[in-house]
Structure 1
């Protein structure tokens, strides 16, 4: 009996096993990396669940573009997207007379989930282009952080605001007509205005898709580049212009005045990404 008491006493003072520390969410891991992976360029996964090896940075200043919000370090992309943006920007003065474009978020140095702002932009094939014209002068670093983009949508969210002009229409149309572009996301009020104003060949409207937010920019999404076997394509764009009754949902009360609440999704873990993303994350 005495022996049992001694055994019980000794067991009671043993330290409890410490549970293994959970790995931080993927957004924390990818958000902490400041440089691209020193690997050949490679897209891994889907626009909203993947990563990017061998990313290339869009220069912060170009002949017809300036990168905004430099502190975010999100001007990285697949070389095909960077090449597209540089060429497209140079065309803008001929397209609508603007000096150039202001470029917002593209992707992090190694892609992956972001701490704030986006569900997609993970594989270096998404880019936000402001619908505010680039000024005809270099912006300071402070201006690039603090300058507000013009809101293209009215307060009631039913149509475009007075900031909307033919310049924005021409910019979106020119981007949507590019063969490399898979989709362009804009606010439904902007899509409504494009549908109302477009003349002649309207086939480009098919690629312009309504989306929550996107009041101040267009979100350009490139198709998977040739040879990128690990890039997961999005389902084809639905047939038709996407005008008329197809837009009605976006102006319903459920969208314009959503009920508060709803449990947020847990942050994405590394296990949700392609296995090769860990090698990208850990590469020099």
Structure 2
């Protein structure tokens, strides 16, 4: 093989890696024009073609942090958010404040997330805003408001100054949605839900999964939609409701002070199809 050909192969590989950098994905500010959305890869290494923009305001919800341009997702995700907004409005729970979905073509983001890459994840703040019930928030409010933590870290319990029954109702409504695969919350929130579970709540409690942080928002993840053959889902959840010893571990010193890796994790490579999505 000639030296020139070797150099060409090296440069081609280098350009491919550069094109897949988070900065280049963030520069793609419009979705591909595919009529049928396709989630490609997995939640932490993937992309989406034919993404749909969530309208910035709708019944029962408003989108926050518009400057991040992360309000795109699979059509199934957009429908889920709008339906949950209707639940919040119809049951007078307050207005849902929507954080990040994904970028216009998914892919890795320059900051904030390792997931949210296939258009099937959304962060929803625990701030169920009564102030936003009857008016649109200004652009400045959408950028400057922060979601308060609903957890008391000193007692490993929810903070009852912030936590209300409305939060449990909206989590239940989200978890009961058939397209929802799992919902990540702070372990103290999971414990609060387990403390007064009923026989009927076991079916949706299993979808509520404890995870680090997530004290000011909950992270909803949808399953791979039908007719999306290149979408890779997660392993099935355990059949139990998760209110057992597996939850107790999250309050151990091992869980609270996880060891840090000696070297930064290398992001997994994106599926080859994502190169086409990026460069269209």
- Superimposed CA distance per residue, residues 99-150 of structure 1 (whole angstroms, 9 cap, x where no aligned partner): 3211100000000111111111100011111111132221111111110102
Q: Structure 1 runs of 4+ off > 4 angstroms?
A: 17-22
Matches within 5 A, 1:1-284: 20=11, 23-24=17-18, 25-40=20-35, 41-95=37-91, 97-134=92-129, 135-136=132-133, 137-156=135-154, 158-162=156-160, 163-202=162-201, 203-259=203-259, 262-268=262-268, 272-283=269-280
- Distance (Å, rounded) in 1 between the aligned partners of 2:175 and 2:212: 19
* Aligned residue in 1 for 2:4: none
SS at match of 2:200: coil
Distance 2:259 2:224 in 1: 36
Q: Contact 1:27/1:267 (CA < 8 Å) preserved in 2?
A: no
TM-score (norm 1): 0.87
Which residue of structure 2 lines up, in the alignment, with residue 9 of structure 1? none
C-alpha separation between the residues in 2 aligned to 1:63 and 1:170? 17
SS at match of 2:183: strand
Structure 1 residue 157: Cα displacement: 6.2
Q: Is the 8 A contact 2:59 2:89 kept in 1?
A: no
**Shift of residue 260, structure 1, vs aligned partner:** 5.6
Q: Supply the distance in 1 between the matched residues of 2:199 and 2:267 (Cα, whole angstroms).
A: 45
8 Å CA contact 1:176, 1:204 repeated in 2 = yes
Larger Rg, first or second structure (1 or 2): 1
TM-score (norm 2): 0.88
RMSD: 1.9
Hey, what's the Cα distance between the residues in 2 that align with 1:266 and 1:31? 19
Q: Deviations over 1:212-235 (max 9, x none)?
A: 111111111111111111111110
Q: Is the 8 A contact 1:185 1:211 kept in 2?
A: yes
Q: Report if the CA contact (8 A) 1:183-1:222 is conserved.
A: yes
CA displacement, residues 34-59 of structure 1 (integer Å, 9 cap, x when unaligned): 11112231111111111000110001
- Report the Cα distance in structure 2 between the residues aligned to 1:267 and 1:83, rounded to whole angstroms: 30
Distance 1:220 1:191 in 2: 14
Deviation string, structure 1 residues 70-89 (Cα, Å, up to 9, x no partner): 01000000011101111121
Equivalent pair of 1:180/1:222 in contact (CA under 8 Å): yes
Asked if the contact 1:181–1:220 (Cα under 8 Å) also holds between the matched residues in 2, the reply is yes
Gaps (5+ residues) in structure 1?
A: 1-16
> Which structure 2 residue ranges, 5 or more long, are not aligned?
1-6
- State the number of aligned residues: 263
- Residues 253 and 83 of structure 1: CA distance in aligned 2, closer, same or farther (over 3 Å): same
Distance 1:93 1:39 in 2: 32
